[in-house]
Chain A
Amino acid sequence: MAPILELKAVDKSFGGLHVTSKVSFAVMPGEISAIIGPNGAGKTTLFNQITGHLRSDAGAIFFKEENIVGRSPQQIVARGMGRAFQIASIFPDETVLDNIRAACLSRLGQTRKFWRSVVTFRQATEDAHAILDSLGLDSQADRLAFELAHGDQKLLDIGIALALKPALLLLDEPTAGMSPDERQHTRALIKKLWKAFDLTLVFIEHDMDMVFGIAQVVRVLQQGALLAEGTPEEIRANKQVITAYLGEDF
């Protein structure tokens, strides 16, 4: 089987700062994997390169067997990639429902319709409620997004990405800033969504319970370079990873 995503010697620098260097790995369809690494390792930057938010300086990124370096985020999203952000990226003054509905309308190619009210778009509305249901947010559908608790805003961000029905979903620290209880809930939720939506999922995390609990493959980034790649067991036993990131007492 061909990988759904393949990075080949991907590079990015900002001025003199080399943020990602010669990163190569392949993600297989249906896989759930984690990217870990210290703060500033270049994890978010790598996501930005994959999603077309930043243009890679060198290397190739194959998504569904096509090199997408130089493509715009719009084009990459259209090919089936979705993304949620380290800091929840939502539409604060819209209702929770409309946040998701906007994404559903976009997927259905209906965002140019200017005559009928959004509430009359049955398919988009049903899809949006289904997504909210699967996130446990449906009871808050009519609230404005900025009124949501921080953890729920993170979930809403994931919901917006899910509404695009992506083949590949990238989550940047889905549990960042959550309480331990919320983390536990989100951990289980993400695993559930991965199965229910038939996703290939790559997530960045600092929460090791989540990384070693649900990832099939773990990749370690250090100072922009891929330090190690393997199953959770392999990574846990890897001397270099322990020194660089996990620490001796892990």
Chain B
Amino acid sequence: MTKETAMNFKAATLWGMIVVLFALVPVLASSPYQINLASHVLIWSLFAVSFNMLWGVTGMLSLGQALFYGLGAYSVGLLVNYLGSAWYLPGIGIGLLAAALLAFFLGLLVIRVGGVYFTMLTLAFGQLAWQITFKWYDFTGGDDGIQGIMPPGLLGNKTAYYYFLLVLVLVSIWILKRMAYSPFGLILRCVQQNPDRVRFLGRRVRRNQLRIYIISSFFSALAGSLMVGVDSSIHTDMLYWTTSGEVILMSVLGGINQFFGPFVGAVAIILIEDYVGAYTEYWSLIIGTIMLVMVLGFPKGLVGEARRLIMRFGRTETGR
């Protein structure tokens, strides 16, 4: 028990440091650009963490989570564009509801097939949504997207909006973290490792897969809707399959078997894109090289490998 308490304490300390660090960004930032960068880091972290609840935890590799990320963004963007900025917050709510409903019905379809077929179907539906958005120029702005989408009132202030999204992102990640360590999270991991055995525990495999698919999609939509206010725009790239691919890269880089792996992976990738992107347009080459090195040499990811080092040099510890 003392071992568990000690670990909880360590986790809480780390958690506290992350919160403080991000909360201080507007104070320490020398330009609005840095607040913008921190916002991107936070939103992608939420997107990656919720994606990894599907993949790393439950073993469902979706190549279509951009569908939900984009749905969240377009709900807010279109409502504000056509009905006015008062619809910003309701737009987030509507987007979340729409994402949960869509995930439920789509889930009934795509979860029936397992493994690579699941991946292909999620990709197909994601690309379908992208195609529709792309083609329906009159309504969605097609390839141009829609610019100048501003949150109402106080949220129009960049710093205020940053704290707004900071709270939502951190609370969401906190909820997902609790979930990951709960009985539900344990069953999800069991579903990944041995679905047949789960059936003989008296639990339904597909039902649990559907639950996490809905939950993951819900938080992906939240990430998308929060991004609208950061860039004041929506665009079809948000729905494109490379957006789904990005969270896969983040998860692999950070470590898919660690709750905070995708978080760290998102921080790293966004920062690399930003800094390297300022010097050369070949930043994706750099990311590609890093990914190659990680996958071949450090398959546990940044967090996984760091943990292994700590375990080797520190006392023996168990658990995740």
Interface, chain A (partner B; CB < 8 A): 51, 53, 72-74, 77-78, 82-83, 89-95, 98, 101-103, 105-107, 110-119, 121, 124, 142-143, 160-161, 164
Alpha-carbon separation in the docked complex, A156 to B268 (Å): 40
Q: Told that A106-B202, A113-B183, A114-B182 touch, could you supply 20 new A-B pairs with CB distance under 8 A? A: A73-B199, A74-B199, A74-B204, A77-B199, A77-B201, A82-B200, A90-B197, A91-B197, A92-B194, A93-B193, A94-B190, A95-B318, A105-B186, A105-B187, A111-B184, A111-B187, A114-B178, A118-B182, A118-B185, A160-B197
Alpha-carbon separation in the docked complex, A124 to B186 (Å): 13
Among A72, A111, A121, which residue has the most Cβ atoms of chain B within 10 A? A111
Among B190, B197, B201, B203, which residue has the most Cβ atoms of chain A within 10 A? B201
Do residues B201 and A164 form an inter-chain contact, with CB atoms below 8 A?
yes
Closest to A116 in B: B182
Closest 6 A-B residue pairs measured CB to CB? A77-B202, A114-B184, A106-B201, A142-B318, A73-B199, A117-B181
Do residues B183 and A74 form an inter-chain contact, with CB atoms below 8 A?
no
Residues of B within 8 A of A143 (CB): 318
Residues of A within 8 A of B199 (CB): 53, 72-74, 77
Do residues B197 and A78 form an inter-chain contact, with CB atoms below 8 A?
no
Residues of B within 8 A of A107 (CB): 202
Contact of A102 among B4, B190, B196, B318 (CB under 8 A): B190
Cross-chain pairs A/B with CB under 8 angstroms, 14 sampled: A53-B199, A73-B200, A74-B203, A89-B194, A91-B197, A93-B257, A94-B190, A95-B318, A111-B186, A113-B184, A115-B179, A117-B181, A142-B319, A160-B201
Alpha-carbon separation in the docked complex, A89 to B199 (Å): 12
Alpha-carbon separation in the docked complex, A101 to B91 (Å): 42
Residues of B within 8 A of A91 (CB): 189-190, 193-194, 197
Residues of A within 8 A of B318 (CB): 95, 142-143
Alpha-carbon separation in the docked complex, A124 to B183 (Å): 10
Residues of B within 8 A of A106 (CB): 187, 201-203
Alpha-carbon separation in the docked complex, A122 to B319 (Å): 18
Closest to B215 in A: A114
Among A90, A105, A116, which residue has the most Cβ atoms of chain B within 10 A? A105
Among B189, B190, B200, B257, which residue has the most Cβ atoms of chain A within 10 A? B200
Residues of A within 8 A of B193 (CB): 91-94
Do residues A114 and B179 form an inter-chain contact, with CB atoms below 8 A?
yes
Residues of B within 8 A of A74 (CB): 199, 202-204
Alpha-carbon separation in the docked complex, A47 to B201 (Å): 16
Do residues A93 and B189 form an inter-chain contact, with CB atoms below 8 A?
yes
Closest to A107 in B: B202
Alpha-carbon separation in the docked complex, A102 to B208 (Å): 14
Residues of B within 8 A of A112 (CB): 183-184
Alpha-carbon separation in the docked complex, A118 to B187 (Å): 11
Closest to A101 in B: B186
Do residues A115 and B202 form an inter-chain contact, with CB atoms below 8 A?
no
Residues of A within 8 A of B183 (CB): 102, 105, 110-114, 118, 121, 124
Do residues B190 and A83 form an inter-chain contact, with CB atoms below 8 A?
no
B191-213 residues with Cβ-Cβ distance < 8 A to A are 193-194, 196-197, 199-204
B143-201 residues with Cβ-Cβ distance < 8 A to A are 178-179, 181-187, 189-190, 193-194, 196-197, 199-201
